[in-house]
Structure 1
Amino acid sequence: MIVLQIHFEKFNKNFIGHSATKKCRVSFEKQDGAMYFIAEIVKPDGTFGCKHEFKINGNVSQMFYTFINDGKTTIRFKIPDICLSLRGKPEQVAKITVAIAKLSGLKDDAKKIMEETKLVLPSPDAQKDAQKSTKTKSSLTDLPPSKKPKVELEKLKLEIRSHKEFIQVSHLPLTLTTLKIGNVQFSRLDQRCLRLVNLQWLTVNNTQLETLPESMDIFPNLCVLDLGNNYISDLPRMFFRTLSPNLTVLNLSKNKLTYLSEDISKLKNLKALYVRHNLLTRIPWKIGLLPNLRTLNISYNKIAYLPYSISSMYFDNIDISDAFDMGYMGRNLQTTEADHQVKSLMELAALSVLDRKIPLSVRSVPLTIIECMEYSYICHCGKKSINPPFKNISLISLKAISCCIEGLNSAPMLAVACSSKCLSRFKISLSPFKMYT
């Protein structure tokens, strides 16, 4: 088994998109007569996650191997337009690079790499002998690590599976780092939970939870927050702003949410977002500002379209099963600059707040203007627009932004431009939106 560090970097026409470095197990696989380069993500617990597949035959545009002797090489594929930077032991990286070069027809590159690294590929008999010898070897390092005392684990982790168990718990240790509560009947978090400042994992699942604390900074070390299968219809205004910056997983599935604030962009370390089975009608425009988001599940909602910012992202997994409101599809949102020469008073007030950079506080800005700004659009140039002059819904192929897809392979996406200059600069199409086939 060969394990390498692989840096994924996605490209598109206008800019370089998001990138990520993953520890992966690499191999080759034959599918439908073509060879594929396989990279399976290795999780921290040693198990394997999402599997990335890249066709090799005629699909490699460039190879960069100047530092091949240092165990570094970069391979650029045509479809998807992505660069894979391989890092690892020099001999392993050289073998993988030579194999990809040969399979893609770049025989000259393969020959140069073998000359530079003085790589000699072993014969099949030598490989079998090497495998037999490794099976007979054993050392103390192969022994499993010793388990921590059970008493220590009990102070760090607690799982409550029923309302009866919850009532019987007299107190919650302040040392808890993991708390999982399920099948308990309460509409708000118990006061004992709010004192657990060391929590890193909090699960409140399958309860009757309706309201959350106004501020979530009571959990400064939180990494995983699971609030699925509850009755939450509204999130506090400061919910995303006060969540721990260390948060990597957020599960709000199976609730009654209709709206997610643009403040979700504050969660810079978020890797997985689950909001399936809600009543969402839109996805925040600033979701494209989450550089580490790799898993997105928005299935079973009533979403009208995806924001354009999502086109610059690259996911390991995205699920859009029954995510869109079919009654919304087919509407033509095409407008012209002339239609927006006269702005409403609400729009002028909101634009004034944006230009003056006034803090969005109920004390300084009326709530109606704040709500108006929450539903504002963001042009590709970064400028906010309450009612942009150019906007249109078109289809985006999810194969260009995700490795694994659940549901349809394409989705409606809204693109906007604040001026005709941005319209031509970012090449936004105003062609009519086509229904799914």
Structure 2
Amino acid sequence: MRIKCQIEILNRCAASQGLRGGCGKSAQATLFLARKPGDIVFLIFCTAKDKQGTKYRVNKNIQQIFGKFVCDGKATIRLKEPVVDMCISKADPVELKRILKAIKSAHLGETLSGQSILSSMAPAKTKHVEKPKTKLVVTSRKDYPVTSSFPLMLERLHIHDCNLARLDSRLFNLKHLYLLDVSSNKIKTLPTALSQMESLCELNVAKNEISEIPAELCQPQAPWCKTLKSLNLGNNKLTCLPRNFHNFFNLWQLQLCNNSITKLPEQLGKLHNLRRLAASNNSIKYLPLSFTKLHLETLDLFMNPFVNDTQLPSNDVVCCSLKIPSLRELSGRIIRKHQIFYDNYEYVPYLLIQYLNCSRQCQCGNFCFETRIRFLMQFDLSRICQNLIGLDHTGRKHAPVDAVLCSCNCYRRYQSHGIIMQ
């Protein structure tokens, strides 16, 4: 068995004198165990410059193995003779565990026969020591890897015009992938497994046929909620975004152009790192109140059917329905506030699920249903954006804000701080 990895050899004698004992840079290599006549096992690594390989005796020659980060494909083997450390990185964790176990056995003098771990002493081939491919661009169906696998070390993957109806499940095994561009295909939905890609920083699914983003993708415990910085959902069939979309708290750029979105999530303003937002050519009539908390560099809401000044009520308040909440509403408020799971049609009646989904959140954090104050106001978007693209051909900068407050106390508190009333 031969494993591909990166190896750096550090001389401990030089390090003890304050000198760097290695070249300071890891080299792409192939690491394997081989046996010479006389049952002598050697640890060998070959590089592009040295395909014959460098050999180290294993039997009673291993001082220590540092394997704390073996699950990340990293380990260090400390040899007695010569006095060096072999630093291994970017290896397959499963293969690395196998070879480390075999090294320990060989060090103790145990036999390795029958374990399919020993290789021949033959020099490494070029394909075994060449630098792994980190970028792949596929622009046609005939170039798509059907019979072969995706390179495990891929960091950037572009797949265009391949008529993909769904994301390939093999993509979810690419642990180093930080950019995935599958635009210009026919993808209809995003699988929940996508949220487990812990290295993904940029996702482009523009020009597809996506009609819905599952709420499961936006769970706060999902690994990609912590890493995703750029998301392009433009030119799809979206009508809305999930309520918990604000859990992408590291999102820096969001593209939503050319969809059929009617409203933005109420808690969109919690995306404190968002700097670029484009949602032109949608069906947005109002903006949520939390939108006024954003701090953007660029904002594009061109060609949306926003309500104009003549359509707004003179006193801002559209509907005031403050009364004693019903038992159903009080129960619903508790369920939504404490995030109790209810979206299961097998155990919860359909009408009750629909009722809970219709709740709206006050800026104080409480949820409300029938008992609430709803108001509209015009907000100058240039207050939250440095480079604002006009909302229409006249260069309009004011957009209507739609908000809900759960009580008169909340209304007075926000009014006194000048957040609601201009």
Could you tell me the TM-score, scaled by structure 1's length? 0.58
Which residue, 178, 181, 193 being the options, matches 1:215? 193
Which AA in structure 2 matches 1:202?
Answer: L
Contact 1:378 1:384 in 2 (8 A): yes
Shift in CA distance, 372/327, structure 1 to aligned 2, threshold 3 Å: farther
**Cα distance per residue 1:310-347 (max 9 Å; x no partner):** 1112100110001235599826583565x342656764
1:426 Cα deviation (Å)?
0.8
AA aligned to 1:392 is F
Which of 134, 152, 160 does residue 182 from structure 1 map onto?
A: 160
Distance between the aligned counterparts of 2:130 and 2:335, measured in 1? 56
Checking the alignment, whether the CA contact within 8 Å between 2:160 and 2:183 is kept in structure 1 is yes
Which of 400, 405, 411 aligns to 2:383? It is 400
Gaps of 5+ in 2: 1-128, 392-396
Q: How many angstroms does 1:359 deviate by?
A: 3.3
Instruction: Tell me which residue corresponds to 1:413.
Output: 401
Compared CA separation, residues 233 and 329, structure 1 to 2 (3 A): farther
In the TM superposition, residue 383 of structure 1 has moved relative to its aligned partner by 1.8
SS at structure 2 position matched to 1:239: helix
Task: Work out whether residues 297 and 385 of structure 2, in 8 Å CA contact, stay in contact via their aligned partners in 1.
Answer: yes
Report how far residue 378 of structure 1 moved: 2.3
Indicate whether 1:260 and 2:238 are aligned. no
**CA shift for structure 1 position 373:** 3.8
Write the distance in 1 (CA, Å) between the matches of 2:294 and 2:272. 8
CA distance in 2, matches of 1:329, 1:224: 41
Bigger Cα Rg: 2
Tell me the residue number matched to 1:308. Answer: 289
CA distance in 2, matches of 1:223, 1:366: 39
Structural mapping, 1:139-178, within 5 Å:
152=131, 155-166=133-144, 170-178=148-156
Deviation at 1:375?
4.0
Q: Is 2:364 aligned against 1:381?
A: yes
Residue 334 of structure 1 is matched in structure 2 by: 317
What is the CA–CA distance in structure 1 between the aligned matches of 2:215 and 2:228, rounded to whole Å? 18
Map residues 225-304 of structure 1 onto 2, 5 A cutoff.
225-241=203-219, 242=222, 244=224, 245-304=226-285
For the residues of structure 2 that align with 1:395 and 1:431, how far apart are their CA atoms?
10
Letter in 2 for 1:176: L
Q: Bigger CA drift: 320-329 or 269-278?
A: 320-329
CA–CA distance in structure 2, aligned partners of residues 368 and 177 of structure 1: 45
Q: CA deviation at 1:349?
A: 4.3
Q: How does 1:344-355 map to 2 (within 5 A)?
A: 347-354=329-336
Secondary structure of the equivalent of 1:391?
A: strand
Q: For the structure 1 residues 400 and 202, does the alpha-carbon distance in structure 2 shift closer, same or farther, using more than 3 Å as the test?
A: same
What letter corresponds to residue 176 of structure 2 in structure 1? N
Give the drift of 1:174.
Answer: 1.4
Task: Give aligned pairs, total.
Answer: 282
For 1:172-197, what per-residue CA distance to the aligned partner results, in whole angstroms no more than 9, with x for missing partners? 11111111111111211123223223
**Percent identity for Structure 1 against Structure 2:** 29
Task: State the alpha-carbon separation in 2 of the partners of residues 214 and 368 from structure 1.
Answer: 26
How many angstroms apart in 2 are the aligned matches of 1:211 and 1:324? 27
> In structure 1, what is the Cα distance between the partners aligned to 2:386 and 2:130?
42
**TM superposition outliers: structure 1 runs of 4+ over 6 Å:** 428-433
Structure 1, unmatched stretches of 5+, are 1-149
Residue in structure 1 matched with residue 170 of structure 2 by the alignment: 192
Deviation string 1:327-385 (CA, Å, 9 cap, x unpaired) is: 99826583565x34265676444224135652345277556544544443222222222
CA deviation map 1:125-181 (0-9, x unaligned)? xxxxxxxxxxxxxxxxxxxxxxxxx953x6111111122211577221111111111
TM-score normalised to structure 2 length: 0.60
* Selected match of 1:358 from 310, 323, 340: 340
Q: Deviations over 1:180-219 (max 9, x none)?
A: 1111112111232232232111111000111221332331
The offset of 1:304, in angstroms, is: 2.1
Cα distance in 1, alignment partners of residues 207 and 354 from structure 2: 27
Inter-CA distance 319–353: structure 2 relative to 1 (3 Å threshold): same
